[in-house]
Structure 1
Amino acid sequence: MIKEMRRKDRQMSDDNTKSVLHNALYGTLSTSNNENIPYGVPISFAYDGTDNIYLHCAAEGMKLDNIKVNSNVCFSTVESAATDAAKFTSQFKSAIAFGTISVLTDIPEKKAALTLLIKKYSPEFYDKGMGYIEKACEKTTVLKIKISTMTGKEHK
């Protein structure tokens, strides 16, 4: 069960939450293993503007081991943050998404996901990136988080 946000005055609209997911550079993917031991890993990602977050990773490792036994994940990101030391607080825009994660096997869907990553992180090298996708897509591990619920929080 996911609780409602306590500080409703800081809750962002769905559109603003989607904006954070679109603009933030990195996020933290949180998984757990079959012993319920949590694992959070910082990762680059791309959001498709609807209900999906895409990322890529090595063909083996703890995150893949974890999602084989538990596909439920939490993904969090912060678009901007600044400390206000004199007021003992900070300003921020953040988003948290809950959902299920899967390894993509469909080549067109993998290419579309990798294209989103190229557009986000290397737009000035789009053509070169597309060539790389053509060569490496089949051996690249691409993950998709299907978002079931998300919330955004902002403190100005």
Structure 2
Amino acid sequence: MFREMRRKKQLLSEEDAAAVLNRGTAGVLALSGDDGYPYAVPLSYVYDGSKIYFHGAKAGHKVDAIRRCEKASFCVVDQDQVVPEEYTSYFRSVIVFGALRIVEDDAEKLEAIKKLAVKYAPENSAQRLKSAIDREWKPLCVMEMTVHHMTGKEAVELMRKRPGQDV
């Protein structure tokens, strides 16, 4: 169902791709937008090993697109070092394909938003976390992406630096 990557030697292992998602702080969610136009939006996220969670407003372009079509892709760029003298960049990125849903159950929504809060504010106290969630709860929309397919890729130059790689 999903295309095989052409440059297989540059394919990241599933473990390395997951590490990219765990390290990243922002990615771009691509949806089927209005009038057949693609809609790509940068977002904060958290990956829990099997699902990716996002948050936003309860109304707008993103939510409308998700309600219309659950299929989406999400991309995170881990590294992009431009090397002008080589006319290239040393990159590492991951693309995830999956299905999105709006989290409606309050207990599920709370667990997901706590994961997001801990990722972006790990030093905050439990009380400060609770206050922030309580303050933003009413207008808060949480979206969950179930991962159907994930690939990571990195520049040949980065692959060569890995022990045991012959690229």
Structure 1 alignment gaps of length 5 or more: none
1:125 counterpart letter in structure 2? N
Is the Cα–Cα contact under 8 Å of residues 57 and 140 in structure 1 kept in the other structure? yes
1:29 aligns with 2:29: yes
Q: Please state how far the C-alpha of 1:93 moved relative to its aligned partner.
A: 1.5
1:45 aligned residue: 45
**Is this contact kept in 1: 2:57–2:139, CA < 8 A?**
no
Determine helix, strand or coil for the equivalent of 2:154.
strand
The one-letter amino acid of 1:153's match is K
* 2:112 paired with 1:113: yes
The one-letter amino acid paired with 1:92 is F
The 3-state SS of whatever aligns with 1:125 is coil
CA distance in 2 between partners of 1:44 and 1:103 (Å): 16
How far apart are the structure 1 equivalents of 2:76 and 2:99? 17
The equivalent residue for 1:64 is: 63
Query: Per the alignment, in what secondary structure is the counterpart of residue 124 of structure 2?
Result: helix
| Aligned amino acid, residue 62 of structure 1 | H
Gap runs ≥5 in structure 2: 159-167
Shift of 1:38: 0.6
Q: What corresponds to 1:125 in structure 2?
A: 124
Paired letter, 1:26: A
Backbone CA RMSD of aligned residues? 1.5
Aligned residues of 2:32 and 2:38 also touching (Cα < 8 A): yes
Distance (Å, rounded) in 1 between the aligned partners of 2:76 and 2:145: 14
CA distance in 2, matches of 1:124, 1:80: 26
Runs (4+) of structure 1 exceeding 6 A deviation are none
Q: 1:102 to 1:126 in 2, by over 3 A?
A: farther
- Residue identity (%): 34
Larger radius of gyration: 2
Distance in structure 1 (CA, Å) of the matches to 2:121 and 2:7: 37
Q: In the aligned structure 1, how far is the partner of 2:76 from the partner of 2:125?
A: 25
Deviation at 1:134, TM superposition (A): 4.0
**Structure 1 residue 126 displacement after superposition:** 4.0
Output aligned runs, 1:137-156, within 5 Å. 137-155=137-155, 156=158
User: Counterpart of 1:79?
Assistant: 78
The separation in 2 between residues aligned to 1:81 and 1:116, in whole angstroms, is 27
SS at match of 1:123: coil
